[in-house]
Amino acid sequence: MSSILHQPLRILVTGGAGFIGANFLHRIVPQLSDTVIVNLDKLTYAGNLQSLQAIEKAPNYRFIYGDICDLDLVQKLFAEYQFTTVVHFAAESHVDRSIQSPIDFARSNVIGTASILQAAKDSWMHASSDMQEFRFVHVSTDEVFGALGPTGRFSPDTSYAPRSPYAASKASADHFVRAYAETYGLPVVISNCSNNYGPYQFPEKLIPLAIVRAMNLDLIPVYSKGENVRDWLHVDDHCEALMRMLHNGLAGETYLVGGSGECSNLELLRLLLTIVDEELGRTPESSWKLIKFVKDRPGHDFRYAIDASKLVTELGWAPNHTLEEGLRATVRWYLSNQPWLQSVMDESYRTYLKTQYEAV
Ligand code: NAD
Ligand code: DAU
């Protein structure tokens, strides 16, 4: 099977200043040194250019401050760069925020995706021969499938049943992506992935929130009784899966990505806090007392679990991190990256945005 990454490419990454996008850029910018890689990001509260300091001066990397909903801007970028690959991460991503501000999610996740698709389609349809291997990789979530009971796993055949405004917006985006594939023949690949964790994750999501709170001996809010189950995946394993989709993913296909790291939130936190205590030389299990049960999230999905066998058998992917190893590496990363963490906690990472881009 041919690999699109064997050719000189021009890649558009959307949302590359966020958690997964930044990890993805750290991987591809040094690896694909002959490839122009453009990162289009609006720098919402979740976008942090400090996460990209190690690669920001690379000659093959460009940052564009802008909104994916701005069709004029997106079309100009496609006209200028003639992208051969799009990896679309940009989205509002936090379920609790979607309950507070659903329209923001409809805008960025639905209109934004439609805008990127429209520009990609126009560019691809009028392009010269080096666009034959064009790919649009859409980074979606397992939440589009709704909630599982105690048994069963999501597969590529599972029906869509989103239950939160976030999940509904991502499901709608997925439908737009498929519609562009069916109607215009745009070569798309969709990835539906489970919960990621790892470096550079904004500390509103459960794992970084718990690490930061445990470091400071603050209480850790756990919704309801902590019985909800998630299938945790280290972000490097997700990025590796996306690379395999870029290399060998078949146009029109959907791949599910999950780490076989299923556990309840309470089990997860006990393991995580045990690691934090070990790394900080605290009395074993002493941080467990920080767990505080609080009111449940409205419409809280009970369980997610992924059957990733298609990705394993067709693209040869397998996760490299066990949950315990991945959590330990993540705890160590947060402990040893205090300047990054501090700038997020005191919001000084936003001043970088103001000085560099807001006047543009
Ligand atoms: P994130 O919230 O950390 O980052 C999102 C990035 O998108 C930010 O840099 C933000 O500034 C940018 N962005 C948001 N709206 C934008 C807009 N209108 N125009 C331009 N940029 C915009 O998100 P993440 O956790 O890195 O997730 C990335 C993608 O992966 C999302 O599409 C998300 O739905 C999906 N996903 C995330 C997970 C997870 O566990 N984090 C799991 C599966 C899928
Ligand atoms: O499944 C993939 C999805 O995983 C991604 O698409 C989303 O972008 C990502 O945010 C994540 O969604 P979740 O809602 O599962 O992640 P979160 O970290 O917010 O919550 C994980 C679990 O922990 C969930 O059952 C809710 C619970 N929780 C979360 C927070 C923030 C708590 O108990 N307390 C908390 O304070």
Ligand 1 pocket member 69 (CB < 6 A)? yes
Which range, of 128-137, 180-189, 313-322, averages the lowest pLDDT? 128-137
The neighbouring-strand residues paired with 63 are 39
Closest by Cα among 271, 301, 281, 48 to 164:
301
Buried b (16+ CB within 10 A) or exposed e, 232-245: bbbbbbbbbbbbbb
Question: Which tokens is 311 given?
Answer: 């990705």
Which residue is closest in CA terms to ligand 2's atom 10?
94
> pTM here?
0.97
Q: How far is the CA of 277 from the centre of ligand 1 (A)?
A: 30
| pLDDT value for 7 | 52
Looking at the predicted structure, is the pLDDT value of residue 2 above 80? no
| pLDDT value for 89 | 99
Taking only the tens place, the pLDDT of each residue in 248-281 is 999 999 999 998 889 999 999 999 999 999 999 9
pLDDT bucket at 353, cuts 50 / 70 / 90: confident
Which residue numbers are catalytic? 142-143, 166
Which range, of 99-108, 120-129, 245-254, averages the lowest pLDDT? 120-129
Looking at the predicted structure, is the pLDDT value of residue 322 above 90? yes
Torsion angle of C-alpha atoms 98, 100, 106, 107, degrees rounded to 10: -110
Q: How far is the CA of 221 from the centre of ligand 2 (A)?
A: 12
- Identify which of 38, 48, 51, 89 to mutate to test ligand 1's pocket (most ligand atoms within 8 A of the CB): 89
Q: How far is the CA of 26 from the centre of ligand 1 (A)?
A: 16
Taking only the tens place, the pLDDT of each residue in 47-81 is 999 999 999 999 999 999 999 999 999 999 999 99
Q: What one-character-per-residue DSSP string does 31-60 give?
A: H-TTSEEEEEE---TT--GGGGTTTTT-TT
- Identify which of 12, 14, 19, 39 to mutate to test ligand 1's pocket (most ligand atoms within 8 A of the CB): 19
| pLDDT value for 360 | 43
Q: Which residues line ligand 2 (CB under 6 A)?
A: 93-95, 141-143, 194-195, 205-206, 209, 221-223, 228, 230, 265, 297, 304
67-to-39, 73, 92, 109 alpha-carbon distances in Å:
11, 8, 12, 11
**85-94: average pLDDT:** 98
pLDDT bucket at 1, cuts 50 / 70 / 90: very low
Task: Give the whole-angstrom CA distance, residue 68 versus residue 72.
Answer: 10
Q: Which atom of ligand 2 is nearest to the CA of 210?
A: 36
Which residue is closest in CA terms to ligand 1's atom 25?
19
Closest by Cα among 32, 40, 23, 27 to 88:
40
| pLDDT value for 127 | 82
Q: How far is the CA of 205 from the centre of ligand 2 (A)?
A: 6
| pLDDT value for 130 | 60
CB atoms inside a 10 Å sphere around CB 34: 8
